[in-house]
Structure 1
Amino acid sequence: MRCAAFVPSAHVLHSLGQMRACSAGLSIDCIAATESHQLAFPEDFIYDFVAPGPADNLEFGINYRACGFCKFAQQHEDKEILPNICGLDCVAYTARGIHMERTQTLAGGASHCNFRFSRQRS
């Protein structure tokens, strides 16, 4: 299942129930809402929600297609700081008892950041 959504702040994991997401697929209304959000908040984060498949070992995933930190760093000509900001993600989620995996980042030149979340492993 692929849903487009947007984050109005840097805090992503309040709860899945609070995320604003479109129903399965990318409807015209959903695309218009995302484009409208980008126009209203051009420095914000844009992401796709990734629901786990039957063989996946995750609770859910998020593919960030636009990053507020990357935009801010570019605007201030300080892209060198991005690996330090991205590097804090795993530590921050671990401190909250959440296991996070990510194999690529926008800051590293990928098309999206691929966050995958699951319960903390013992």
Structure 2
Amino acid sequence: MKYGLIGSLVPMLFDRTAYGYTQRVLPELDMKAFKRAHHQEYREMVERTPGVGSMKDNMFAMVMYMACYGFSYYKASPDVMTLEIFDGMIDALCTSDIMKRAYKNKDCFDQKEIDKYLRGAARSQKREYPMDWVFDFSYDLSVPEYFVTHRECGICKIAQQENMTFLTPHMCVMDYPTIEYKGGRLIRTKTLGQGDDCCDFHVVRKAD
């Protein structure tokens, strides 16, 4: 992937939350050195990861950068990093104001969202990009509900590339709050990150 504008935007959006949390749980950590190591690892990871197309064409393009940000956070200080600390950082990002604002006024079931998934599913079947997601999509707006069955996942592919597959399930939890912010509720029984044959997203309207 190209680092470029999108690559530089992700740290700008998330650094304050991620490092604020890190400093609270690891007060003895040299934060200046950690930030430097994280940013360097993030940029290198982005640049060695094959792209999946533009943000205009691929609804998951931004997710690839966010995944690199998460994986490189763990890699930046493996001597002190634990899964518990990583989980806390992911939770801090998920509950941050910047994340909530990103999904404000978005609706899981508006036609724009449905059309985005329809286009994405059709494009994914072409397998144009090796690192891309491959998924099926169906919906019924009379319920309303939709189903996304991921057969391949870009986050899993980055994890394999970086020898960090153990971390993938800890990234997958982000799906729940991001769907909730858009008025949905995620029901999921399987994930590729846990070694299952697919990720079976079933999204329904969140109860008031």
State the TM-score, normalized to the length of structure 1.
0.70
Contact 1:8 1:45 in 2 (8 A): no
Q: Deviations over 1:32-55 (max 9, x none)?
A: x82xx32x3110111011335x9x
Contact 1:99 1:119 in 2 (8 A): yes
**Consecutive aligned runs of 4 or more in structure 1 exceeding 3 Å deviation:** 11-14
Deviation, 1:9, is 3.3
- Looking at structure 2, the residues matched to 58 and 66 of structure 1 have their Cα atoms a distance apart, in angstroms, of 25
AA in 1 matched with 2:131:
E
Structure 1: tracts of 5 or more residues without a match: 1-6, 23-29
- Looking at structure 1, the residues matched to 207 and 150 of structure 2 have their Cα atoms a distance apart, in angstroms, of 24
Q: 2:132 aligns with which of 44, 48, 60?
A: 44
- Looking at structure 2, the residues matched to 96 and 15 of structure 1 have their Cα atoms a distance apart, in angstroms, of 10
1:24-63 to 2 correspondence within 5 Å? 34=125, 37-38=126-127, 40-52=128-140, 59-63=145-149
Q: Deviations over 1:6-64 (max 9, x none)?
A: x8232796611233255xxxxxxx9xx82xx32x3110111011335x9xx65110000
2:204 counterpart residue number: 118
- Looking at structure 1, the residues matched to 184 and 176 of structure 2 have their Cα atoms a distance apart, in angstroms, of 9
Aligned residues: 101
2:189 counterpart residue number: 103
**What's the Cα RMSD here?**
2.7
1:87 aligned onto 2:169: no
- Looking at structure 1, the residues matched to 186 and 166 of structure 2 have their Cα atoms a distance apart, in angstroms, of 23
Structure 2: tracts of 5 or more residues without a match: 1-56, 64-107
Question: Which structure has the higher relative contact order (CA within 8 Å, separation 6+)?
Answer: 1
Of Structure 1 and Structure 2, the greater helix share is in 2
Deviates more, 1:81-90 or 1:65-74: 81-90
Q: 1:75 aligns with which of 149, 161, 164?
A: 161
Contact 1:8 1:44 in 2 (8 A): no
1:3 counterpart residue number: none
- Looking at structure 2, the residues matched to 76 and 70 of structure 1 have their Cα atoms a distance apart, in angstroms, of 10
Deviation, 1:100, is 1.0
Contact 1:46 1:66 in 2 (8 A): yes
- Looking at structure 2, the residues matched to 59 and 47 of structure 1 have their Cα atoms a distance apart, in angstroms, of 17
The percentage of aligned residue pairs carrying the same residue is: 28
